[in-house]
């Protein structure tokens, strides 16, 4: 059958991202064939409710005809335009202006990439260039959070603090440092908001003092840590960290690759607390995954310092063939139109309480120790003992088992560290679909028992 042919070819030739290569060869692929709204069909006709919007990216849902049209029109008119040698495309120019329009007021310059990893990598390069440009070349130390994820480029994977991205890759680099994650459920206070925030602020101060305040370039963080297990910090945490970074004289970079574009309610999560970062990285929801694109946004001060220090006649050597790709930009412009004029952000805000309630209801389940959520981003943390919050033994391989059970129940979500189940459905999900999603999740949990 075609399925067997594809499975055989996959096992022999396709290297899968973030997979156990030998383990994958043994189990073979789940081949996704088509999608509509929050629903996927695999190559054998099985219906799957996608509770994770692909990889928390398909925010507008599958099958948005106007996005397909925007891509098609751009492909037909001009499939490619370089940004080199002063060239540009209309869609790239309009997208840069649109992103500045919807972003925090501090950000005025946009570098368009192919995704989040490249956006983080560009941010690191621009920050290095910035400090060299302003005569502080000794500022080479970067601080991020434990459990953080900032992509898998050579530098981003070191800012990331998840063991699988470090092991065997000689990471983190000597200039990459991590402070504890603001993790209320696992905090010694048991989850006291003020204590979690105070600890993070103190840890950032202590790390900067240890490295020498004059040596630190920047602090990177996600407003809500995604791949680290959907760690939702207390309200006010992001603002406290931004204020502390400013006071310490280091750049503050917010990585909104997951949290951007309405995932947590507002257009960007940092806007909920009036945070004005020096740089911001975005991707995923920017094009809703229809084609690859990300962006690094920076303040006028960062841009101007770099621009003004460049020697006459010498290019700033950062760019790629596909930087500011016109098809990505055309898709992004239409996706952004759907979020705003198409009412998708307003819809996501309207159904978020239903999502939160459905997750909270599952805390009555014997396996669920914690339910946490903001907007349409959430997680259920499974525990072996609710009273002591004892985690499951990783040797049980619970995550892999749950994945298999979930497919049998026709539902897709992510499991982190084997015991945290992450949810990030398309922002177009209806209340009935939210109910159906968590009804299926409940059946999965019952089967795990």
Contact positions vs ligand PLP (CB under 6 A)? 115-117, 120, 149-151, 222, 226-227, 255, 257-258, 283, 294
Instruction: For 165, list phi and psi in degrees, rounded to 5.
Output: -85, -10
Three-state secondary-structure class, residue 116: helix
| CA nearest to 256, candidates 288, 220, 292, 299 | 220
Shortest distance in whole angstroms from residue 153 CB to ligand PLP: 8
Q: Is 160 left (phi over 0), alpha (psi -120 to 50) or beta?
A: beta
**Nearer residue to ligand PLP within complex by CB, 257 or 280:** 257
Q: How far apart are CA 326 and CA 164, in angstroms?
A: 34
**Nearer residue to ligand PLP within complex by CB, 286 or 437:** 286
Question: Which class for 139: exposed (0-12), middle (13-18), buried (19 or more C-beta within 10 A)?
Answer: buried
Shortest distance in whole angstroms from residue 56 CB to ligand PLP: 7
50's tokens: 């996608």
**Nearer residue to ligand PLP within complex by CB, 275 or 383:** 275
Residues ≥6 apart with Cβ < 8 Å to 403: 415
Shortest distance in whole angstroms from residue 144 CB to ligand PLP: 11
DSSP string, 215-231: GEEEEEE-SSBSTTT-B
Q: Is the dihedral of CA 113, 117, 123, 128 positive or negative?
A: negative
Shortest distance in whole angstroms from residue 57 CB to ligand PLP: 8
**Nearer residue to ligand PLP within complex by CB, 116 or 425:** 116
Shortest distance in whole angstroms from residue 115 CB to ligand PLP: 3
Shortest distance in whole angstroms from residue 375 CB to ligand PLP: 15
**Nearer residue to ligand PLP within complex by CB, 161 or 445:** 161
**Nearer residue to ligand PLP within complex by CB, 165 or 438:** 165
Three-state secondary-structure class, residue 280: strand
Which runs of consecutive H residues, i.e. helices, occur in 212-343?
A: 237-248, 300-309, 326-340
Residue nearest to ligand PLP (CB): 116
Shortest distance in whole angstroms from residue 257 CB to ligand PLP: 3
**Nearer residue to ligand PLP within complex by CB, 116 or 369:** 116
């Amino acid at each position: 059958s075609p399925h067997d042919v594809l499975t055989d070819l996959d096992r022999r030739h396709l290297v899968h991202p973030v997979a156990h290569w030998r383990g994958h060869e043994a189990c073979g692929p789940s081949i996704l064939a088509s999608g509509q709204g929050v629903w996927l069909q695999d190559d054998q006709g099985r219906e799957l409710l996608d509770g994770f919007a692909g990889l928390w990216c398909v925010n507008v849902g599958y099958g948005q005809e106007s996005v397909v049209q925007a891509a098609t029109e751009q492909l037909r008119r001009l499939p490619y335009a370089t940004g080199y040698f002063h060239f540009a495309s209309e869609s790239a120019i309009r997208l840069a202006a649109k992103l500045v329009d919807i972003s925090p007021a501090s950000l005025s310059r946009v570098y368009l990439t192919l995704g989040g990893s490249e956006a983080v990598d560009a941010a690191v390069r621009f920050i290095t260039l910035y400090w060299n440009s302003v005569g502080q070349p000794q500022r080479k130390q970067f601080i991020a959070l434990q459990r953080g994820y900032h992509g898998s480029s050579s530098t981003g994977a070191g800012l990331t603090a998840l063991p699988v991205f470090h092991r065997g890759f000689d990471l983190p680099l000597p200039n990459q440092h991590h402070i504890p994650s603001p993790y209320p459920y696992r905090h010694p206070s048991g989850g006291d908001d003020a204590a979690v925030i105070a600890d993070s602020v103190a840890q950032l101060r202590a790390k900067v003092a240890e490295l020498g305040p004059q040596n630190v370039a920047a602090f990177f963080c996600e407003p809500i840590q995604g791949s680290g297990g959907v760690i939702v910090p207390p309200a006010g945490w992001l603002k406290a960290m931004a204020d502390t970074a400013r006071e310490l004289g280091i750049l503050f970079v917010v990585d909104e690759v997951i949290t951007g574009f309405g995932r947590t309610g507002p257009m960007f999560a940092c806007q909920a607390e009036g945070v004005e970062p020096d740089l911001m990285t975005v991707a995923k929801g920017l094009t809703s995954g229809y084609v690859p694109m990300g962006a690094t946004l920076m303040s006028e001060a960062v841009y101007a310092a770099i621009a003004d220090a460049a020697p006459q006649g010498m290019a700033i050597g950062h760019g790629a063939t596909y930087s500011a790709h016109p098809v990505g930009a055309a898709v992004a412009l239409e996706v952004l139109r759907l979020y705003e004029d198409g009412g998708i952000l307003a819809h996501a805000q309207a159904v978020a309480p239903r999502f939160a309630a459905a997750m909270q209801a599952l805390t009555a389940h014997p396996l669920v120790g914690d339910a946490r959520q903001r907007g349409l981003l959430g997680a259920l943390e499974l525990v072996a003992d609710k009273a002591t919050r004892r985690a499951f033994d990783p040797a049980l391989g619970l995550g892999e088992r749950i994945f298999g059970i979930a497919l049998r129940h026709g539902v897709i979500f992510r499991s982190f560290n084997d015991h945290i189940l992450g949810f990030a459905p398309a922002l177009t999900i209806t209340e009935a679909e939210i109910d159906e999603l968590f009804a299926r999740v409940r059946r999965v949990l019952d089967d795990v028992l």
